[in-house]
Structure 1
């Protein structure tokens, strides 16, 4: 039977599709803006859209603007700052020669999210859900690895960078969920959107101050490319809105595991748009992802 609690499934799939679109747009802007400039547009141009989302939600639900408890702010800062740190560590890892292997390590985020969610938020996962998370994660790792990539496992630095990046992404997901569930007296939609507004505000503030101090010319370039940046910012806010709605309804580990369908979207684009054939290894990994995600949704 349908329930509001099960909405986390379509919310997560929508967020994953929005993230694929946002990543594609950010990739196009990396050349003229650099990595951190392209990263900042998702915050700088996404923040105004989050305010619009909140206004629409308040009107639609009839909720009053919430007044969060003091516990909201540490969780929010954990989510916002860890996401920035995780992005930086991921970029460092991907600059290493073991690019594919570190990518595989970063995909252990779902497992680490489950561990941190249990420790810090008391999110309970059944044994079947734990098995589903493990199956899907193994599938992603198999899909990500390439022939000859195994030698990269001997490199300590990219291994550490990849695992720590995954850990900070996991902390970020649980931080945002922790902030959302501290807000009471309003609908889950309002709590999620309110958290999104302040999360993007903190991230915009931090990265903008960083760019002002280290690369002021990048900010000027961002303003010069405001037309494509606006759409990229909208897609970033749109994807984050649905991530947060999903976090409001279920454990972050469930969301981040189902989000692995993003790998399937990417493989589909590579196959149909670029005519890149799938190897037996990739097909095997995709089968494991499908089995893991299907089990997660079913139990």
Structure 2
């Protein structure tokens, strides 16, 4: 009972750490490319996740819960979709500002509702439909520039960012399901176990790919190990708190509060990258946050 609302500070910490991690990964993208920066999150995050798991086991005097084949499958689903989401997000950040790309990816909660309606048969009320329209319109407002003709190149960053949001939504559903499937352990133990398993799967998948198809990027990662370690630590810590949130409440609740990342990205964009944001882009981001917030207020 005492930990019922612990998902709130955990999610706030996750949003803060993820913003810092995204900033670090964006800088690395220019040095080692999209795939390399994506692997940094997993390869250098895995040792920290394993350390977290050891500390939790020592503190609780218990071993991690057993992993069934079903749990492994669902965790793999979460891991693979998160790889795709991260790669798409970093690709979008190369073409649009940090703050605007973050806003694109934060259409994720809306897409959770759409996936639920299409795949699970969840009811979509009039107010939920209105919320989706408002959030989607916000994405259009952010991505469209006055006088800019619609073209494939102009729409590319929006498609990449929204695609990242879709895969992040699928990933959140997968990880939440995997945590719930574990047969025993407290919420911290279950969250940390799935985090370590997910990062191990992601590191292995990308390592095999890079050894086969992109060895220069792997060499670049090792050469840039100092900033990579920072990105790995921030990524593992952010995921630890996201997963703790998933272990205590629905992914919808966690991702709604996680929208704090949008104004955080705006502040970071101005202070660190000196990226200006127009009133139109601010209006669009406000519409995204408002639409997503309305949608999930109705769902809670």
Interval containing the TM-score (normalised by the shorter chain): 0.7 to 0.9
How much has 1:107 moved relative to structure 2? 3.4
Flag structure 1 segments of 5+ consecutive residues without an equivalent.
none
Q: Secondary structure of the residue that 2:262 maps to in structure 1?
A: helix
Cross-structure match for 1:224:
223
Paired residue for 1:64? Answer: 63
Q: How does 1:10-49 map to 2 (within 5 A)?
A: 10-49=9-48
Relative to 1, partners in 2 of residues 1:104 and 1:234: Cα closer, same or farther, differing over 3 Å? closer
In 2, the alpha carbon distance for the partners of 1:22 and 1:77 equals 22
Mapped pair 1:169 → 2:168: yes
How far, CA to CA, are the matches of 1:148 and 1:67 in structure 2? 58
- Using the size of structure 1 for normalisation, the TM-score is 0.79
Q: Is the 8 A contact 1:196 1:241 kept in 2?
A: yes
Distance 1:278 1:30 in 2: 22
Distance, in Å, in 2 between the alignment partners of 1:102 and 1:31 is: 16
Q: Paired residue for 1:204?
A: 203
| Distance in 1 of aligned mates of 2:102 and 2:197 | 29
Structure 1: how far apart are the matches of 2:238 and 2:201?
18
Separation (CA, whole Å) in 2 of partners of 1:172 and 1:166:
10
CA distance in 1, matches of 2:248, 2:120: 13
Q: Deviations over 1:183-205 (max 9, x none)?
A: 12210110010000010001100
Unaligned runs of 5+ in 2: none
Match status 1:261 vs 2:260: yes
User: CA 1:23–1:92 in 2, change beyond 3 Å: closer, same or farther?
Assistant: closer
Gap change, CA 1:166 and 1:283, over 3 Å in 2 = closer
SS of 1:63's partner is coil
Q: What residue number does 2:8 align with? A: 9
1:61 CA drift (Å): 2.6
Contact 2:211 2:218 in 1 (8 A): yes
Q: Is the 8 A contact 2:192 2:243 kept in 1?
A: yes
For residue 66 of structure 1, report the CA deviation from its aligned partner.
0.7
State the number of aligned residues: 297
Aligned to 2:76: 77
Q: Deviations over 1:30-66 (max 9, x none)?
A: 2332221121111111101101000111122333321
Aligned residue number for residue 194 of structure 1: 193
TM-superposed CA distance for 1:235, in Å, is 0.8
1:265 Cα deviation after fit: 0.6
CA RMSD after TM alignment: 3.9
